[in-house]
Chains A and B, each alone.
Chain A
């Protein structure tokens, strides 16, 4: 008595994984996670804006002309960029989950890291050369 493994599967593609364009309501825990991710990025944006404003408004003047502006304005601009892209990313993630597509990747982690790195270098230069 031998079992024939071929007879178990009559062939053809599996029933699942068919590409269906219709929307499905994603698992609410993923919706929550996407929401928290948006909020974390948005807080990062708020922190960048607040830090930039504090740099231009609350720091004492540097020797270097426009020093506070050089430090603060990029921070605020980066904050605005992060705020905008975080909303777009949240929406893209939501759409991807609804259509069962893989989540889209975002260059923003790299952009944020490089941005903060560059601004840190500016801050160090200002602190060493420009403080009164």
Chain B
């Protein structure tokens, strides 16, 4: 049995955790963009409000980044069950569905 298929402390996951972390990072960016596009509908950006909106989006991205870093630290110190807790999958799906629902409502309201 090769060493990398042995479960336990000697197992080598290779680059799988890193790729998965990068995938979560891309998903975070996608969330920021999707929320930004939806927010654009209720919040028309002019001058100062535009700057405030950009700062908020930047803060959101930074918070996501910080969350990823802490989850990475957690991952390194714990028994592996994938990158994140199972609740994260439902959360991502639920959040995406909420965004989609908002999009459908806005879409239904638009004229022309």
Binding site for B on A (CB under 8 A): 25, 27-29, 31-36, 38-40, 42-43, 45-47, 49-50, 52-54, 56-58, 61-62, 65-69, 72-73, 76-77, 79-80, 83-84, 86-87, 90-91
- Whole-angstrom distance from the CB of B73 to the nearest CB of chain A? 17
**Chain B residues near A36 (CB, 8 Å)?**
19-20, 23
**Chain A residues near B19 (CB, 8 Å)?**
32, 36
Count of CB-CB pairs between chains A and B under 8 Å: 137
| Count of interface residues, chain B, beta-carbon cutoff 8 Å | 43
**Chain A residues near B92 (CB, 8 Å)?**
38-39, 42
Task: Give Cα A80–Cα B100 distance, bound, in whole angstroms.
Answer: 6
**Chain B residues near A38 (CB, 8 Å)?**
89, 92
**Chain A residues near B17 (CB, 8 Å)?**
32
Most buried by B among A32, A80, A90: A32
- Whole-angstrom distance from the CB of B48 to the nearest CB of chain A? 21
Give the residue name and chain of the B residue nearest to A32 (CB).
Answer: B16
Partner of B107, one of A27, A52, A65: A52
The SS class assigned to the B binding surface is helix
The SS class assigned to the A binding surface is helix
Task: Give Cα A86–Cα B34 distance, bound, in whole angstroms.
Answer: 18
Closest 10 CB pairs of A and B: A80-B100, A61-B112, A83-B96, A87-B93, A32-B16, A76-B103, A50-B34, A56-B107, A53-B103, A46-B30
Task: Give Cα A38–Cα B103 distance, bound, in whole angstroms.
Answer: 22
**Chain B residues near A54 (CB, 8 Å)?**
37
Task: Give Cα A56–Cα B93 distance, bound, in whole angstroms.
Answer: 23
**Chain A residues near B26 (CB, 8 Å)?**
39, 43
Given contacts A31-B82, A66-B112, A87-B93, contact A49 B13 (CB under 8 A): no
Task: Give Cα A84–Cα B16 distance, bound, in whole angstroms.
Answer: 25
Query: CB of B74 within 8 A of chain A?
Result: no
**Chain A residues near B20 (CB, 8 Å)?**
32, 35-36, 39
Given contacts A28-B11, A29-B16, A35-B20, contact A49 B34 (CB under 8 A): yes
Would you call B100 and A83 a contact (CB within 8 A)?
yes
Q: Identify 14 new A-B residue pairs, CB closer than 8 A, beyond the known A39-B20, A83-B97.
A: A29-B14, A33-B16, A35-B20, A36-B20, A39-B92, A45-B100, A47-B34, A52-B107, A68-B110, A69-B108, A72-B110, A76-B107, A84-B93, A86-B93
